[in-house]
Amino acid sequence: MNALLKRVWIGLAATLVVSLAAVVMPDQVQIDDDGRVHLGAPAPTPSPSTVAPTPESTSPPLTRDEVDEVIRTAVSAAGLDPAQGRPIGATGANSNRTGWTAVREKTAAQSDMNTICADLERQGWTLNPNGDRPDPSARSYKRGGWYLLVSTRGKTQAPSTTSALTDSQTYLTLAGLQLNLSDIPVPLPEVTVRIG
């Protein structure tokens, strides 16, 4: 049973990382309807006029502890108890991943997500202009070298035979990732991964 739960959590973590990558770099990560993930774009012949991505940098860098506090504050603003959720990422201030997730009724999850997003904006986080596609179940924000993905995706991303969610539930998730996009080569080589 422990091995099964471990596989479920690993699958959810992988899905969150891929989803966050797709939001942060939409030109480099595409997710098909059948669950295939394409990393990178077919390598066109580089032209001399190719411009490197502009480094993000208007707000001072945030520490992992500061991002954890941002998440706790935003979750509390939605009337939820941060202690009732499950942390994402390894503990310790030096980790470049963090987050929070909890099971919520679908009827409440979207409202909770909207309140969390409003509080992130109040705290100075800006919508990621390169990441958001028209999708009401996920929004991404950036600030101080960190990217936050807020989503209400659940049942469809977990293996159907092992999900602990009922049909009326979903995961409300804030997934944070610290990225230095200037270290990522563009374009990425093309790689296809099958999830599920």
Topology of 55-187 in CATH? TATA-Binding Protein (3.30.310)
What are 126's two structure tokens? 């800006």
Give the model's pLDDT for residue 195: 57
Q: Which of the 8 DSSP states describes residue 91? A: S
Cα 86 from Cα 175, distance rounded (Å): 11
Cα 108 from Cα 77, distance rounded (Å): 14
Range 88-115 average pLDDT: 88
Question: Residues near 14 by Cβ (< 8 Å), separated by ≥ 6?
Answer: 195
Cα 173 from Cα 34, distance rounded (Å): 23
- Burial class of residue 152 (count of CB atoms within 10 Å of its CB; 0-12, 13-18, 19+): buried
pLDDT in tens, 35-91: 566 666 544 444 444 444 444 456 789 999 999 999 999 999 999 999 989 988 777
Q: In what order do the strands lie in the sheet with 138-143?
A: 86-88, 97-105, 169-178, 146-151, 138-143, 126-127
Sign, Cα dihedral of 74, 77, 83, 86: negative
Tell me how far CA of residue 141 lies from CA of 5, 9, 75, 129, in angstroms: 30, 24, 15, 9
Domain boundaries, the chain: 55-187
Cα 47 from Cα 170, distance rounded (Å): 45
Give the model's pLDDT for residue 163: 57
pLDDT in tens, 151-170: 998 654 444 444 578 889 99
pTM comes to: 0.61
Give the model's pLDDT for residue 66: 93
Taking each continuous run of H as one helix and of E as one strand, the counts in the chain are 3, 9
Q: Rounded to the nearest 10 degrees, what angle do helices 64-77 and 106-122 cross at?
A: 130
Range 3-19 average pLDDT: 66
Give the model's pLDDT for residue 156: 45
Cα 48 from Cα 10, distance rounded (Å): 41
CB 102 within 8 A of CB 152: no
Closest to 191 in 3D by CA, of 10, 34, 18, 13: 18
